[in-house]
Amino acid sequence: MAASKVLLTDLSSGISHVPLNYVRPVSDRPNLLNVQSPEQSIPIIDLQDLNGPNHSKIVKEIGQACQHDGFFQVKNHGIPERMIKDMLRVSKEFFKLPERERLKIYSTDPSKTVRLSTSFNVKTETVANWRDFLRLHCYPLEDYVHEWPSNPPPFREDAAQYCTNVRGLVLRLLEAISESLGLQSDYIDKALHKHAQHMAINYYPPCPQPELTYGLPVHTDPNVITILLQDDIPGLQVLRNGKWVAINPTLNTFIVNIGDQIEVLSNGRYKSVLHRAVVNHNKDRISIPTFYCPSPDAVIKPAEELVDKEHPALYKSYTYSEYYTKFWNLGLATEKCLDMFRVSTT
């Protein structure tokens, strides 16, 4: 494929039909008319007093959301509104740059710590997804920030401030999640070994036939926890009680979802939930998930305190590198990669 055709951002301009390589089989389409309204949405948790007198109450709310929903929203999270606006602005500016500028960092190699690409895994998938994305490694920040795009000019500074603040939020949430499981507050922190943090800036162009394709198809997140920033265009949908529910953006909140690794660490008490991204006919959309991960050599297994005769270990022990390799090769298959690591009951 020629370089000028690599990015969906440029391919999609002015077309009236979705190209065939983006059209999903009839049995695997979004069925947008059968999506429930946002009134049946996910919990909103106020973090104002997480380090104050209501600490225990908020920890309990977080635990209940992890157990029953797998997704929740947070407000009063401590990240300034200005920083959120700057991150969304500079992300949109990046995807409006001339194609030749963006393509300087284009790559299909997932081992690269900074890369622009499209769909998910263009080397293995048979049906493409309606998105382009910029993927950045973010922690330790000083190891990677010099590799990030220098155009638009504020990008590095704005993204670095945002990443640092999101990491602070993640660490607070991981302490609360550990406590909600009855573990020491630093349990998950230590289980991640050296930690890793990645960010994807997803760009979903307008789509002439959104009912035929996905921005991202049904999947669970392979990491520990994801903090999602969205612009004002809906797109995220979460599977609840067998029904798809639209999660509309709420100003100055973040969506938090539990990844596969917390499901394992909690020995299945907390669930990594299937979700998807759909696209819009008239408007483009930006979403910015921060993926907080174990370091590749971290050994993940159910917490010993959560395993007993009544609650045997549900998952095998493995390194995160082993897990992510299998996830990448599956290519966002509908089945959860987690199923490959379950302890056999036969």
- pLDDT at residue 4, as a whole number: 37
Calpha distance 228→287 (Å, rounded): 7
Alpha helices, DSSP H only, in the chain?
8-11, 55-68, 81-95, 99-102, 141-144, 155-180, 187-191, 260-265, 320-330
- pLDDT at residue 6, as a whole number: 67
Calpha distance 43→73 (Å, rounded): 6
Query: What count of other Cβ atoms lies within 10 Å of the Cβ of residue 52?
Result: 8
Alpha helices, DSSP H only, in 181-230?
187-191
- Bridge partners (DSSP) of residue 194 are none
Q: What is the CATH number of domain 3-295?
A: 2.60.120.330
Amino acid sitting at position 176:
A
Q: Is the pTM of this model over 0.85?
A: yes
Is residue 272 a contact partner of residue 286, using CB atoms and an 8 Å limit? Answer: no
- pLDDT at residue 345, as a whole number: 62
Residues 6+ apart with CB under 8 A from 83: 158, 161, 162, 165
Query: What count of other Cβ atoms lies within 10 Å of the Cβ of residue 159?
Result: 25
User: Distances in Å between the alpha carbon of 107 and those of 95, 209, 288?
Assistant: 16, 27, 19
Calpha distance 309→248 (Å, rounded): 42
Task: Burial-class residue 174 by CB neighbours within 10 Å (0-12, 13-18, 19+).
Answer: buried
- pLDDT at residue 87, as a whole number: 98
Query: Of 246, 50, 19, 242, nearest to 130 (Cα)?
Result: 19
Amino acid sitting at position 10:
D
Q: What angle do CA 289, 210, 235 make, to 5 degrees?
A: 30
Calpha distance 115→102 (Å, rounded): 10
Query: What count of other Cβ atoms lies within 10 Å of the Cβ of residue 68?
Result: 13
Is the omega angle on the peptide bond into residue 140 within 30 degrees of 0, that is, cis?
yes
Is residue 111 a contact partner of residue 324, using CB atoms and an 8 Å limit? Answer: no
Calpha distance 128→139 (Å, rounded): 29
**Residues of the chain under the 50 pLDDT cut:** 1-5
Question: Within 13 Å of residue 239, how many CA atoms lie on the same side as its CB?
Answer: 13
Is residue 225 a contact partner of residue 294, using CB atoms and an 8 Å limit? Answer: no
Please state whether beta strands 225-230 and 299-300 pair in parallel, antiparallel, or not at all (unpaired).
Answer: unpaired
pLDDT in tens, 108-131: 888 899 999 998 877 778 899 999
| DSSP state string for 131-165 | -EEEEEEEESHHHHGGGS---STTHHHHHHHHHHH
Indicate the DSSP class of residue 38. G
For the CA atoms of 55, 56, 62, 67, the dihedral, rounded to the nearest 10 degrees, stands at 170
Q: What is the CA radius of gyration of the chain?
A: 20
Is residue 128 a contact partner of residue 121, using CB atoms and an 8 Å limit? Answer: no
Q: Domain coordinates of the chain in residue numbers?
A: 3-295
Is residue 275 a contact partner of residue 238, using CB atoms and an 8 Å limit? Answer: yes
